[in-house]
Amino acid sequence: MPKEVNTPSVIALWLFPVNAPLKQISPKEEQWASSLSSRRSREFRHSRGYLRQALSDLWKVKALDIPLTARPGRPPELSEGWGFVSISHCRDALLVGWSKSPLGIDIERIDRSFSANHIASRYFSDKEQQQISKLHGDNLRIKVLEKWLIKEAAIKWQKGSLANDLVHWHSREELGIIEHHSLKVRLSSMNLRHSHWAIAVASDFSNAANPTMLCIN
């Protein structure tokens, strides 16, 4: 078990390029990876290897000694006492997040092209649509992207699904919160930008006043 940290918990984020060399993973993870398609296998090996590296650097423990369970297609989990992790991919980056309490993260290229009006009209609440009603062009696209990312981050915190939960999460950026009205859940929310990427973090309020640390590799 890791040595307990006496200072308030930070939300730690690591950013890795997707074309970085693969790192060692556990025999069980290798077994899972071998059952996947070539593309999915590399993505799986890459994400689990760099997740282990990030936590190894954090805890000063050998990467393969990290008590991580990370099956394909399922949220990664750490043994009790080691905190909580979340991962997210976009086409050129892997984002890894860790905190003492549950969190969800999401990442996307800021320049990603999509129909902002279509996304907003289909998945955003009336109040959310009203908040962005005066935006146009690239300002609208980026704001919709940020709202989408924070919804995905909240769903990862929840361990829910896009199909069932996306329309139930409502972001209130002016307050730094996101709410699930059906579950009566409220989380702290945060949007960040770094270089070419937009990043979102949803977490328990125990982390709301604590700093976020972004490590670039």
Q: What are 137-153's pLDDT values in tens digits?
A: 999 999 999 999 999 99
Report pLDDT digits (tens) over 149-188: 999 999 999 999 998 899 899 998 888 999 998 899 999 9
How confident is the prediction for the chain on average, in pLDDT? 91
Determine the pLDDT at residue 98: 96
Alpha carbon distance 39, 67 (integer Å) = 26
Answer whether 78's CB lies under 8 Å from 68's CB.
yes
Determine the pLDDT at residue 126: 92
Determine the pLDDT at residue 208: 59
What is the arithmetic mean of pLDDT over 32-39? 96
N residues, the chain? 217
Which domains, from first to last, does the chain contain? 11-105 (3.90.470.20), 110-189 (no CATH)
**pTM score, whole prediction:** 0.91
Phi, psi angle pair for 168, to nearest 5°? -90, -15
Percent of the chain exceeding pLDDT 70 equals 93
Determine the pLDDT at residue 4: 47
Residue 69 has pLDDT above 90, yes or no: yes
Q: What is the DSSP letter of 101?
A: S
| Confidence bin at 205 (pLDDT 50/70/90) | confident
Sequence-ordered list of residues with C-beta below 8 angstroms from that of 50, at least 6 positions apart, any chain: 14, 16, 20, 23, 94, 96, 217
| Confidence bin at 85 (pLDDT 50/70/90) | very high
**Cα dihedral 157, 158, 162, 165 sign:** negative
